[in-house]
């Protein structure tokens, strides 16, 4: 019998949640996702030192703060370019979390990211622009999708977020599993089984809702704490998984049962979430309200740390040739 990772591939598109090129080469995912936290990790890896130096040199101007922000954006694209060379599908590149409540700034930044990829010959159909699933982020994604720029809505914890994304024509959502469980565990609420894990149940409901209402938006479960959560979502459109959990799945030769996408789906009545209803639903969901805010703060903190890394390179790297990252 094949291992669980290979069995999962037959049911679900496997996505790597990492900027680690060696892990991507090893596990051969369909797609890959990045975020500020993963980019910060990548910045500490030896593989990326030259790239850091190159982008900091290329983006250096008299405006230090602007140079730092431009270097961070260029680094995220440089990571994406390297990853795309190793996968057949798409890479997700995230917009600065500090823009999560600014629709127009999110749109402009997404367009700039796509332009940077286009300038090096990477087609937009290989990229997903990753945006926090605030109301403003969802509205930005709605406009970007109309422009042909596909989006991945992240930090999604609540059914209203998922419904609004589908109604806005978003290409893909990343409903979180592990961070939902974290919230309940911190309050002493331990699920009796993986099937009753609140994060698993959230993604399962969203998946059923989309399929029973014929939405084309892709459901990609994210943020896993253990392989049991992944196994309970086997059959989901896509799952983005860290290298450590990919390794665990690859080392397990027992049978994996498909849980989603088998037979008919329970009927989920189509719901409408205009702005006021969306905000009210989020306000009444303490977990989603807190975890969305917490996620934005944490991604922002790691973005600031990445900017500090770039600031150090801007100060110290003086001898990088302009075309060093095109080889």
> Which tokens hold the place of 29?
């995912």
pLDDT digits (tens, 9 = 90+) for 47-103: 676 676 666 555 656 666 888 888 889 889 999 999 999 999 999 999 999 999 999
Strand, coil or helix: 95:
coil
Residue 228 to residue 87: CA distance in whole angstroms = 26
- Tell whether the model's pLDDT for residue 317 goes beyond 90: no
Backbone CA torsion sign across 241, 245, 246, 249: negative
More confident position, 212 or 44: 212
Residue 326: which pLDDT band, with cuts at 50, 70 and 90?
very low
Q: Which of these is catalytic: 130, 192, 259, 270?
A: 130
Dihedral over Cα of 34, 35, 40, 43: its sign: positive
pLDDT in tens, 119-146: 999 999 999 999 999 999 999 999 999 9
Mean pLDDT of 233-244: 98
Q: What per-residue confidence (pLDDT) applies to 48?
A: 72
Over the stretch 149-159, which tens digit does the pLDDT of each residue have?
Answer: 999 999 999 99
Per-residue confidence at 321, pLDDT binned at 50, 70, 90?
Answer: very low
Alpha helices in the chain (DSSP H): 4-9, 21-27, 36-43, 49-58, 64-84, 103-119, 135-146, 159-167, 178-186, 198-212, 227-232, 243-250, 275-284, 286-316
Q: Enter the tokens of residue 74.
A: 């260029």
| DSSP class of 233 | T
Q: Which two tokens stand for residue 67?
A: 């140079």
DSSP characters for 184-223?
A: HHHTT---SSGGG-HHHHHHHHHHHHHHHTT--PEEEEB-
- Residue 214, pLDDT > 70, answer yes
Among 96, 130, 128, 131, residue whose Cα is nearest residue 302: 96
pTM of the entire predicted model: 0.91
Retrieve residue 305's tokens.
Answer: 């740390």
**Main-chain dihedrals φ then ψ at residue 76, nearest 5 degrees:** -60, -40
Token couple for 259? 């849980």
In tens, the pLDDT along 285-297 reads 999 999 999 999 9
Under DSSP, is residue 31 helix (H, G, I), strand (E, B) or coil?
Answer: strand
Contact 159, 204 (CB under 8 A): no
Predicted confidence (pLDDT) at residue 313 exceeds the cutoff of 80: no
CA 219 – CA 163 distance, rounded (Å) = 12
Q: Which residues contact 115 (CB under 8 A, 6 or more apart)?
A: none
**Distance (Å) of CA 324 to CA 52, 57, 115:** 11, 10, 20
> Other CB atoms closer than 10 Å to residue 326's CB: what's the count?
9
Coil vs helix vs strand at 129: strand
Residue 279 in this model has a pLDDT that exceeds 60: yes
Overall fold of domain 4-318? TIM Barrel (3.20.20)
Question: Rounded to whole angstroms, how far apart are CA atoms 252 and 256?
Answer: 10
Q: How far is CA 136 from CA 139, 236, 245, in A?
A: 5, 27, 33
106-115, 261-270, 277-286: range with lowest mean pLDDT: 261-270
Q: What single DSSP character describes residue 177?
A: S
How many other β-carbons are positioned within 10 Å of the β-carbon of residue 303? 22
Indicate the burial class of 33 (C-beta count within 10 angstroms; 0-12, 13-18, 19 or more): buried
Write down the pLDDT at residue 43: 83
Is 69 annotated in the active site? no
CA dihedral defined by 268, 199, 248, 263, rounded to 10 degrees? -10
Burial class (CB in 10 A: 0-12, 13-18, 19+), 200: buried
């Amino acid at each position: 019998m094949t291992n669980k990772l290979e069995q999962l591939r037959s049911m679900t598109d496997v996505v790597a949640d990492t900027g680690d090129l060696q892990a991507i080469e090893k596990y051969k995912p369909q797609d890959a996702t990045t975020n500020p936290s993963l980019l910060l990790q990548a910045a500490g890896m030896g593989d990326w030192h030259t790239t850091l130096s190159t982008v900091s040199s290329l983006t250096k101007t008299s405006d230090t703060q602007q140079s730092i922000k431009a270097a961070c954006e260029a680094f995220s694209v440089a990571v994406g370019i390297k990853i795309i060379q190793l996968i057949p599908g798409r890479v997700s590149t995230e917009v600065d979390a500090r823009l999560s409540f600014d629709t127009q700034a999110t749109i402009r930044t997404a367009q700039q990211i796509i332009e940077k990829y286009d300038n090096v010959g990477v087609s937009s159909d290989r990229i997903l622009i990753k945006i926090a699933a605030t109301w403003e982020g969802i509205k930005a994604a709605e406009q970007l999708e109309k422009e042909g720029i596909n989006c991945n809505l992240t930090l999604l914890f609540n059914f209203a977020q998922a419904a609004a994304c589908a109604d806005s024509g978003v290409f893909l959502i990343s409903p979180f599993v592990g961070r939902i469980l974290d919230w309940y565990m911190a309050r002493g609420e331990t699920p009796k089984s993986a099937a009753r894990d609140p994060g698993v149940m959230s993604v399962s409901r969203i998946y059923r809702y989309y399929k029973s209402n014929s939405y084309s938006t892709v459901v990609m479960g994210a943020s896993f704490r253990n392989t049991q959560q992944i196994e309970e979502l086997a059959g989901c459109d896509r799952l983005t998984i860290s290298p450590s959990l990919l390794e665990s799945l690859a080392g397990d030769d027992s049978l994996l049962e498909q849980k989603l996408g088998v037979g008919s789906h329970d009927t989920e009545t189509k719901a409408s979430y205009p702005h006021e209803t969306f905000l009210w639903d989020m306000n009444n969901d303490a977990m989603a309200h807190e975890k969305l805010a917490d996620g934005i703060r944490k991604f922002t903190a790691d973005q600031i740390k990445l900017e500090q890394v770039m600031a150090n390179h801007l100060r110290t790297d003086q001898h990088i040739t302009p075309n060093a990252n095109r080889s």
